[in-house]
Structure 1
């Protein structure tokens, strides 16, 4: 359950596909549509003044992105995995927003929900140490990761994307994941597959706390 506006399905609503790496919309373009993700994972991208590519957020099935609260898109959206999405018109979203407000008074949460992952990144980057930041990222997304038939979780985020999100290097992400495996907090049978073995310790690391025998910083 999220805080986005509940969009009533249109009579001839069609879920459209996007391939991994495909761009949904570009930062600065006119904000003409809202994209409702039905399956897959997308990333929000911004480019700094210095030209550095930053991953500002990850979005999952059920999220609505590209909300028309400004005249232009505030970030670029790209597919991390293959996607299914429904594209709603700006007018349709505004009508749904007004309807939602009239029915239950929900206005501000609907507008702010898209910003939550971006705000969360700012909080995570305030953590001291790559390992702590990585644990904070994992705890924030673990309940939204698809489950495989064997009970493990599908982790579709490339290490280069996690590094760009956490303002570090892919090598540091690799070392942090290895440390979590050595601590028996997670296991990763494959690069895109993860098992959370000890969620309590994962959350403890994410909050910056650990036993004296635990190494928190990478």
Structure 2
């Protein structure tokens, strides 16, 4: 693999800083994680967006969260069709192997993936509708959410679609037989939240009110 290159210098420096401080100060904990394996209490499905730092938001330590990130924090519906499904594989491992107690979908404001889905579904991003677009094909997961918000005032549509990205994912999670069974047995709970990047706020979905409320 001749095209690969060494890490940029700033990342090497940051690694050495972490190794000399956070790792050294918690060496026994890291040793325990290595020897005993991971036992995360929750799985978090979040967006790839570099501004969404879920471990910082929830003050999580190493070993506490099993984290999967993708464009627009989406979960596809259950579809064992022989294709490669990274998100579905991560969910299966978290629930069946790690036995997590909580599964949290974390959406966020100013999401580029959600904005891209809105543009695609409204006919303003034909490049995403090309068969060769991995992003466009992925964002098709959120198309049902667009249908729910397209009749709202235009200024409200994208923010509403950000919430739909969370809700569609929660709905799709329940199409997985092993998730539905775990939820019905009381072994797993599903949660949906929306993080506001600008003001640090956090909304959580309340199924009784069918609404997102401030935490």
Q: Normalised by the size of structure 2, how large is the TM-score?
A: 0.30
More helix by share: 2
Q: Normalised by the size of structure 1, how large is the TM-score?
A: 0.30
More strand by share: 1
